[in-house]
Amino acid sequence: MKTYDAVVIGAGSVGLCCAVSLCEKKLKVLVIDELPSHGQGQNKAAIGGIRATHSDPAKIKVSLRSIAIFSRWKETRGDDIGWRRGGYVFTAHSETEAGLLRAQAEANKKHGLNIVWADAASVRGLVPGINLDGLLGGTYSADDGSASPLLAAAAFKRRAEELGAEFRFGEKVTGFKTAGGKLSAVLTDKGVYPAPTAIVAAGASAKEVCALAGISVPVSPDSHEAAITEPLARMFEPLVVDMRQDENSQNFYFYQNSEGQIVFCLTPKPPVWGNERRSSSGFLSAASKRLVDLMPALARAKVRRVWRGLYPMTPDGFPMVEKFSEPEGLILAGGMCGQGFMLGPGTGELAARLAAGETTPEDEEILKSFSTRRNFTGTEKFK
C-alpha cells in the first residue's frame, strides 16, 4: 500500500496552495476531492478580488504573502493567471463610515500596507464615473488587486503536479484511521491512504470532514451570488466596495477584471444560511440597481450570467488554521469566510510549515488569531 507524508482534503483555493507548499518541502503529497476535478467547489464561484485590507493583523500578514505570490506568479512560473494590480477602494457615504475607514487605514499602515484616505474627487479620479452624490471619500490600497480564480487554480494544480503531488478526484473522505492518538491514514469510499498528516481544506464541508475525527468546528455555509457582464473598454482599475446597507444587502462591491468584464456582488441581508447554489430571482435586480446607482454609465451593460457560491463562515469572520492534538497530525485550514481565494497562497505556506514543524514566531502569533479555541468575540470590519 502506497504511503504519503501528507494528504490534503480539498482541491480548491486553499487545498491546491497547501499541496504546492508541502511539495516544495519535498513531501510526498496526495490531494483528495469528492468532486470530478480541481476548483469545482467554491473556487469557481470566487470573483477574484485579492486584498490585504483587513481589520485583523493576522489576516493582513497572510494576505500580504498571498499578494506577493499572485503578483509574481507569471514572472516566476510563466502562467498568466490574470493578475492585475488595480487596488481596492472602500467608499464612505456617512461620517460613521468615514471614521471607521480612516481609523482602519492608519491601523493598516502600521502593518505595512500602502493605503491612503482619498477625498471624493480623488475617488472619482480613481473610478471615473462614480456617482458623487453623498460620497465623502474612501480608502485606496494601491497594491491590492485581482486575478482569475480559474486560471490560478489550474496553475497551482500544474505546479503541484510538477513537484510530485498526486490527485484523486471523485472520492469522498469517510473517516480517519488512528493509532495511539496519532493519525495513520485517511479513509475514503474508494480506498485507504496511509499518512501521518492530513490537512482539511474542504471549504464549506470542513465541519463535516472534521466531525469524522470527532472534532467540532464552527463553520457554517452562507450563500452569496454574483454576476458578470460582457467585456467593456477599460473604465477603471480598483475593486470598489460600497459599505452602505439597504433592505437587501450589507454591502456591495464590483470591479472590472483583466478581460474587461464587470463583476459585481452584494452581501445578502439577512444572511442566507445553507448549501443553496441555485441562483435566486431577486439577486440580479437588487444588485443591478446598486451598480447603476454607483456607476450610471453601466446602465446599458449586458449581463452574461449570474451564479451562486458558499462562504464558509466562522462566528467572527476570521479564518481557522490549527493543528489538533488529537488525532495528532490532523490540521484544519478552513473557515475562510468567502476569502479563500485571496488567502489561499499565504495560508498554504502557513499550513505547510505547521505540518512540517517549522513555524516561526510570527506564525505562532497568526495561529493564535486563527485558533479554533479563540473566544470569537471579534468582528471582521472589512467583510
Q: In order of start, what are the domains of the chain with their CATH numbers?
A: 6-49+149-218+316-369 (3.50.50.60), 85-143+220-313 (3.30.9.10)
Instruction: Walk across the sheet containing 182-188 and list its strands.
Output: 173-179, 182-188, 192-194
Any idea what DSSP says for residue 37? S
Structure confidence by residue, pLDDT tens digits, 270-301: 999 999 999 999 999 999 999 999 999 999 99
Residues of the chain with pLDDT under 50: none
The vertex-234 CA angle with 116 and 75, nearest 5°, equals 70
Pairing of strands 166-169, 29-33: parallel
Residue appearing with cell numbers 514566531: 361
The C-alpha atoms of residue 105 and residue 65 are separated, in whole angstroms, by 19
- State the DSSP H helix or E strand holding residue 183, giving kind and residue range, or none if neither: strand 182-188
Instruction: Tell me which H or E stretch contains 201.
Output: none
pLDDT for 300 equals 96
Distance from C-alpha of 108 to C-alpha of 141, rounded to nearest angstrom: 10
Continuous segment of H or E residues that includes residue 12: none
b/e 369-381 (16+ beta carbons within 10 angstroms → b):
bbebebeeeeebb
Segment 264-271 long-range contacts (CB within 8 Å, at least 24 positions apart): 264/226, 264/227, 264/228, 264/290, 264/291, 265/47, 265/224, 265/225, 265/226, 265/227, 266/225, 266/290, 267/224, 267/383, 268/223, 268/224, 268/225, 269/245, 271/222, 271/313
| pLDDT for 380 | 80
Q: C-alpha cell of 336?
A: 475562510
Which residues does 248 contact at the CB level (< 8 Å), separation at least 6?
Answer: 266, 268, 269, 282, 286
| pLDDT score at 377 | 87
CA 28/CA 151 separation, integer angstroms: 25
Pairing of strands 330-334, 6-9: unpaired
